[in-house]
Structures are given as structure tokens and as C-alpha cells.
Amino acid sequence: MKKLIFFVLLPLLFLTGYSILNKVHHNVELGKSIYSIVEDVNNNEISINSLADFDWDKGFLITPYSTQEGIDEQLGVHFKDPSNIDWRDDIFLLIFMKDDEVVQYVEIDRQGAYFKLGEKEYLTPSDDVIIIERY
């Protein structure tokens, strides 16, 4: 009986621990802060590093209708998109990485705006501005 419990519980504990360790944080608070900035029509840019309270070294802006394959290619690693952005046009995703691992993501509500990084491929803490274009 002890062996049965061992062989049933051990894999369950392993899988539970594995999924907890690999869960990427959806940063809702950062999303609210960004929402407040975009809500003010006088703002035409967002300085991310002044809002982020965590360590990151790259931030990728994912546009509406991006496919899972496109996201993985842009990041250079696999990130299971929890937002289903490939079917949505109401949000952008902002995905943060630290040491080539995804650490957090934010769903950015469009609020009648389009977001760009200019000529940059991704954000860094020293080059952290997202441009807001309104239409």
C-alpha cells in the first residue's frame, strides 16, 4: 500500500510543483497603471521602467492577431499565450523577460490607441518608451 501511495503521489507532487514554478505572472497592477496613462489623451508615450517594480532586461510588445508561432519567434522562446491574442484586436501584450526567460506579462487595453516601439525590436530598462498613437 505504501508503494502504491508513493508511485501515485510522487508524480502528482512533481507535476503540481512543476506547473507552479513555471507559471508566468500576469501583472494586473502594471496593466492598470498603463491604462491610467493611456486614458489621459495628453500622454503620447509610456515609460515602462518607471512603472515596473520587478527585474527585467527585455520587454516585447505583441500586436493584436499575433499567432503563437509569431510570438515564440519574436521572443526566441516558447511562451504559451494565455490571452488568445491571435483572435483579439482589443489588447496588446507586453511580455517581460529576464535572462532569456519570460517572467511577467501585461494585457494592455487599446482604449482607442495603437502602441509602437519605434525602430526598436524590444524594450530595455534604459530604452523603455512605448509610443501611443491615437486614432
Task: Give domain status of residue 76, yes or no.
Answer: yes
pLDDT band at 35, cuts 50/70/90? very high
Residue 65 lies in a domain: yes
Q: Is residue 100 part of a domain?
A: yes
Residue 13: pLDDT over 60: no
Please indicate, yes or no, if residue 1 is contained in any of the structural domains. no
Q: Decide if 125 is inside a domain.
A: yes
Q: Is 46 inside a domain boundary? A: yes
17 in a structural domain? no
pLDDT at site 17: 38
Residue 8 predicted with pLDDT over 90: no
Does 57 map to a domain? yes
The domain total for the chain is 1
With the CA atoms of 115, 117, 119 and 123 taken in that order, what torsion angle do they form, in degrees rounded to the nearest 10?
-170
* pLDDT tens-digit readout, 42-67: 999 999 999 999 999 999 999 999 99
| SS3 of residue 87 by DSSP | helix
Domain holding 100, by residue range, is 24-134
Nearest to 123 by CA among 23, 42, 39, 30: 30
Q: What is the pLDDT of residue 23?
A: 77
Residue-wise pLDDT tens digits, 74-115: 999 999 999 999 999 999 999 999 999 999 999 999 999 999
Give pTM, 2 decimals: 0.82
